[in-house]
Amino acid sequence: MKGHEIYSEIKVPLSSNLILRLDGRNFHSLSKKLSLKMPFDYEFTSLMAKAGLDIFKEFSPLFMYTFSDEISILFNYIPFSGRIEKLNSIFSSLVSSSLTLSIKNSDRYNDLFPIAFDSRIIPVSDGEIFSYFKWRQDEAYKNCINIYGYYALKEEYEGDELKKKLNGFKSQQIHEYLFRKKGINLGKLPTWQRRGIGIYRACKINSSQANNTSRQNKHVSVDENLPKFTKDFFNSIIK
């Protein structure tokens, strides 16, 4: 019967960089069941980051990036010899278990059905690493503008009228509307809401006064104050 396991040896291209993206299944209904705060729930976001950190501790990837219900992972090696079934199943189950346990352990939530994530593999060349993460960070910002716009409009409109208003709104109009009507300046929102959260090894300079030397230690940082991604940002992480 072993011969029937026909997908088990399918591998990612070993010469590419490997990115894997995990996305929560049906988190729109989960957010309702858990009464997540709108438009952003910091506690939920922190638990997503913690699930990311669990993966980081176990697999030590190069860089991770999370916003909303998704986590992207960039590796500087190919785990499981690149076997696609292993990669997709292990990372999605690890993040699902981690988040399920965390939510169970937080007394705010009870009666939780086990959570699931899907997983996809994205092989990229060196030059495409920045393009990929810029794409996801642009998505995070778009998502931020849209949800603030949605919750502001919802206070004034409903049903078809709300849909029509939302569809007709360009992002600049949402900016102006939020500022004029609600006093919300999107540019001043917490950075994690606009740019997402990164998990990576960052340099920490330890100065020793005794011998006047400084040493660079790399500690794992959960960065809620990410800059706008640039090529230089990734060059500094990859080196």
Contacts of 147 (CB under 8 A, 6+ apart): 38, 39, 40
CA–CA gap between residue 78 and residue 86 (Å, rounded): 11
What's the min distance (Å) between Cβ of 61 and ligand GTP? 22
DSSP letter string over 156-187?
T--HHHHHHHHHH--HHHHHHHIIIII---GG
Smaller CB separation from ligand GTP, 26 or 217: 26
Residue 29 vs 230, nearer CB to ligand GTP: 29
The H-assigned helical ranges of the chain are 27-33, 42-59, 84-105, 126-154, 159-168, 171-177, 191-195, 231-238
Positions 11 through 70 that interact with Mg ion (CB under 5 A) = 23-24, 27, 69
Does the protein bind Mg ion through residue 130 (CB under 5 A)?
Answer: no
Coil, helix or strand at residue 239: coil
Among ligand GTP, Mg ion, none, residue 97 binds (CB under 5-8 Å by kind): none
Query: Closer CB to Mg ion, residue 27 or residue 67?
Result: 27
Q: Smallest gap, in angstroms, from Cβ of residue 163 to ligand GTP?
A: 16
Residue 25 or 164 with smaller CB distance to ligand GTP? 25
For the CB of residue 67, give the shortest distance to Mg ion in the complex, in Å: 11
Residue 45 interface partner, choices ligand GTP, Mg ion, none, CB cut-off 5-8 Å depending on type: ligand GTP
Closest CB to ligand GTP among residues 31, 97 = 31
DSSP for 33-68, written as a single string: HTT--SS--HHHHHHHHHHHHHHHHHH--SEEEEET
Q: Would you call 77 helix, strand, or coil by DSSP?
A: coil
Residues of this chain that interact with ligand GTP (CB under 6 A) are 23-28, 31, 36-38, 40-41, 44-45, 68-69
Phi-psi region of 30 (alpha: psi -120 to 50; beta: other; left: phi over 0): alpha
- Least CB distance from residue 4 to ligand GTP, whole Å? 30
Give whichever of 67 and 234 is closer to Mg ion, judged by the CB atom.
67
Task: In whole angstroms, give the CA distance from residue 165 to residue 154.
Answer: 10
Contact partner, 96, from Mg ion, ligand GTP, none, Cβ < 5-8 Å per class: none
Residues found near Mg ion in the complex (CB under 5 A): 23-24, 27, 69
